[in-house]
Amino acid sequence: MPRPTRPDTGTAMHALIREIRTRVPFATPGASLCRGPCRGCSKKLLEFLDTELEEWEDRMEEGEVPRFGDLKRLEKLATKVMAALRRNGLVA
């Protein structure tokens, strides 16, 4: 039986970016982001993550191929941002 093929890192990065953009509430109004005490500024974290995603989209558009470590780093960053958003009560 043939082994299933894994996507190349470029395809995997596109899929990861799509998933992050779907799950992370980037469109949350600023007033909702800053409502009471928080641990980590949700607004700044969302801006930082969005910038990282845009940079990778631009880099891949210019022909750069991400490495496996790049995928893991972006996944880890998104996971940490989501954890902070959860702690701040912005996502369930």
SS3 readout for 24-81:
CCCCCCHHHHCCCCCCCCHHHHHHHHHHHHHHHHHHHHCCCCCCHHHHHHHHHHHHHH
Sorting pLDDT into bands at 50, 70 and 90, what band is 1?
A: low
The pLDDT assigned to 83 comes to 93
The pLDDT assigned to 90 comes to 84
The pLDDT assigned to 65 comes to 95
What mean pLDDT comes out for the span 74-81?
97
Does residue 12 sit in helix, strand or coil?
A: helix
- For helices 68-87 and 42-61, angle between their N-to-C axes, nearest 10 degrees: 160
The pLDDT assigned to 2 comes to 67
